[in-house]
Amino acid sequence: MPNQENDILAAAGHSNIETEFYSPIPDGYKPGRHKYVAVLGTVMSGLGKGIFSSSLAKLLKDKGLRVAPIKLEGYLNLDSGTLNPYRHGEVFVLDDGMETDMDLGTYERMLDQNLTGDNFATSGQIYRHVLDKEREGGYLGRDVQMIPHVTGEVKHLLRSLAVKQKSDVVFIEVGGTVGDFENGFYIEALRELAFEEPGSVCFVALTYVLEPKTLGEQKSKAAQLGLKKLMENGIQPHMIACRATNEVGPKVREKIAMFSNVPVRAVFSMHDRSSIYSIPESMHQEGLDIEILSILDLHSAVRPREEDKARREWAKFVGMLNAQRTHDITIGITGKYAALRDAYASIDKALEHSAAHLSAKINIEWLDTTEMDPTNPIEIASHLKDLDGVIVPGGFGARGTEGKIACVQYCRENKLPYLGICLGFQMAVVEHARNVCGISDAASSEFDPNAASAVIDILPEQKKIEGLGGNMRLGGKDVQIKPHTLAAMLFGQEQANKTFNVRQRFRHRYEVDPNFIERLEDKGLIFSGRHPEHPIMQVLEISPDKHPYFIGAQFHPELTSRPLEPHPMFMGLVAAAIRHANPDLPAEQISSRWLPTVAQAAS
């Protein structure tokens, strides 16, 4: 690195030097050793920066490079846990319990890589850190300013991530759009980072190409103006991704290239596709990965054998996605946020993974339980009778829960394949207690604090054991699976004669009250997954000889489903739905172990 930049960093990180620079360097960091790819949006938000960034990151990871993504959010919340799904999509929970936005799920699935809280930051986190540091005298009496102190802390955050996760390339996604007030300091910090470490930062701009129906052609003016705003902030993009409904034509790409000083070869058409999982190969075909390697001088770090193997495995999965499907099934998702698909993005993706592996075309019916009359069995049947499987997903609050319970009852009584997730697990307990055990007033204290028979309740002694106080159980935890159960079969341990543990991700407050467990089990409800040490129920099922597929999880299986390794509970549901749609179909005609396993249990 040039001496000037070395001097800048040395002065900025040395407490005894009077300087206007502030760019603290974490222990073990070597400027120039780590590279950065910054992805910023123009024109409008919600264009898919996470999809583009994760696809690029995957291409570099496939080449043998260590990558670490990070999402920088502009809002003041400390995490995404309190955000309404209608405003911000689903809350994605990482293994360490950090509640993030749905883009972190995209990164985990695309990279097949567990992330941590270090891979997610909000303005609220940054400001709190700056203010805490100021109170502790960390700025040596200086007046604390947005520049250089807040931007300096952002740079320190990025460099610390590079060191902690030993990354060759850090992929930085800045939430929102260039020109927003709340993300301006992130963009300035990235400009400073590029200034301090020349040749280490690649800027990628994601823009939008309009195609008004009344004109019948693509228009690039909005994209040009958005890119101009980015350049006004002192950032010259190296690469541009153009979101559009249809493939962006060469004339539009040439216009954008000329206006932004970006070579045409680095202007990529990110038009709508049937699946996001086809994007990495499209990028590779257009040479974007080679372009990134050239910009960051990383060609020597590529491992061709690793890349060939990774591309073959991914191509096999994409081939399954694009292949003609053997089976046609319909699965209903009965939720209270059914009007917004992003509220259940990970469930949608988990079904997509399983569908590809089982050669199934899944038609998803989004059913809003708030609009159902739970007291009218005919109406409930009208919604569910044509389905081949049902998922009751997670959620909070009483709205729509009675409709969920009615759906559970229909699935149990009519042997319709069922998967309950978190709240869906709890509603299955309430339904069984009411309609099988005869506890007519069974309820959850979340919805009725004065319930006489709160089969679902907050258990202070268990929360004390967990060390969680009044907070939710969040993140990855062990689940002990009982042998010779449907759960054991799904997790590949059908021959096991003893319990075994699987790690799953949780996000909930309420538990099954242990005082009701014996009564529930006496009436046929099997708790096949438990806390390894305490009476906390985590998986329930009905024996396969009584129901083709009925299982519920207190955890969220959708959060750990990956394209190359779908979650077992979704694989089992899809297999059972195929059998439901084709009751006479021989088990061997389903090219997986999932349905034969379930069928064997039934026999």
Residue 470 clears pLDDT 60, i.e. is over it:
no
pTM: 0.91
Residue 391 clears pLDDT 50, i.e. is over it:
yes
Residue 432 clears pLDDT 90, i.e. is over it:
yes
Residue 17 clears pLDDT 90, i.e. is over it:
no
Residue 23 clears pLDDT 90, i.e. is over it:
no
CATH number at residue 310: 3.40.50.300
Contacts of 454 (CB under 8 A, 6+ apart): 443, 444, 445, 448, 513
Residue 11 clears pLDDT 50, i.e. is over it:
yes
Neighbours of 4 (CB within 10 A): 9
User: What SS3 class is residue 235?
Assistant: coil
**What is the arithmetic mean of pLDDT over 519-525?**
96
509 occurs within a structural domain: yes
The residues carrying an active-site annotation are: 422, 556, 558
Long-range contacts of 436-445 (CB under 8 A, 24+ apart): 436/523, 436/524, 436/525, 437/519, 437/520, 437/522, 437/523, 439/516, 439/519, 444/401, 444/510, 445/510
**171 and 146 part of one domain:** yes
13 occurs within a structural domain: no
Contact yes or no for 400/427 (Cβ under 8 A) = no
The per-residue pLDDT for range 121-146, each reduced to its tens digit, is 999 999 999 999 999 998 888 889 99
| Last residue within a domain, chosen from 255, 290, 317 | 317
> What integer pLDDT is reported at residue 213 of this predicted model?
85
The per-residue pLDDT for range 210-242, each reduced to its tens digit, is 988 888 889 999 999 999 999 999 999 999 999
- Structure token pair of residue 264: 């045409």
Residue 467 clears pLDDT 90, i.e. is over it:
no
For the chain, what is the radius of gyration of the CA atoms? Answer: 26
494 occurs within a structural domain: yes
Contacts of 110 (CB under 8 A, 6+ apart): 51, 54, 55, 57, 58, 276, 277, 280, 563
| Last residue within a domain, chosen from 271, 293, 317 | 317
Cα atoms found within 13 Å of the Cα of residue 208, Cβ hemisphere only: 16
Which residue type occupies 573?
L
**194 and 330 part of one domain:** no
**308 and 329 part of one domain:** no
6 occurs within a structural domain: no
**384 and 236 part of one domain:** no
Domain count, the chain: 2
253 occurs within a structural domain: yes
Supply the range of the domain harboring residue 574: 324-602
**91 and 239 part of one domain:** yes
Task: List the end-to-end C-alpha distance of the chain, in Å, as a whole number.
Answer: 69
β-partners of residue 171 are: 37, 69
7 occurs within a structural domain: no
**What is the arithmetic mean of pLDDT over 325-353?**
88
Percent of the chain with pLDDT over 90: 73
Chain-wide mean pLDDT for the chain? 90
The per-residue pLDDT for range 345-390, each reduced to its tens digit, is 999 999 999 999 999 999 999 999 888 999 999 999 999 999 999 9
**298 and 383 part of one domain:** no
**304 and 413 part of one domain:** no
**What is the arithmetic mean of pLDDT over 159-184?**
95
Q: Name the strands in the sheet holding 511-512, side by side, starting at the edge strand that comes first in the sequence.
A: 442-444, 453-457, 511-512
> What integer pLDDT is reported at residue 300 of this predicted model?
94
Contacts of 229 (CB under 8 A, 6+ apart): 42, 178, 179
156 occurs within a structural domain: yes
| Last residue within a domain, chosen from 266, 297, 317 | 317
**375 and 521 part of one domain:** yes
Residue 462 clears pLDDT 60, i.e. is over it:
no
The per-residue pLDDT for range 399-415, each reduced to its tens digit, is 878 999 999 999 999 99
**357 and 234 part of one domain:** no
CATH number at residue 395: 3.40.50.880
Residue 80 clears pLDDT 60, i.e. is over it:
yes
**289 and 425 part of one domain:** no
**465 and 556 part of one domain:** yes
The per-residue pLDDT for range 555-589, each reduced to its tens digit, is 999 999 999 999 999 999 999 999 999 988 776 66
Residue 100 clears pLDDT 50, i.e. is over it:
yes
> What integer pLDDT is reported at residue 517 of this predicted model?
95
> What integer pLDDT is reported at residue 590 of this predicted model?
63
**399 and 531 part of one domain:** yes
382 occurs within a structural domain: yes
Report residue 596's pLDDT band, with 50, 70 and 90 as the boundaries.
Answer: very low
> What integer pLDDT is reported at residue 58 of this predicted model?
97
> What integer pLDDT is reported at residue 601 of this predicted model?
43
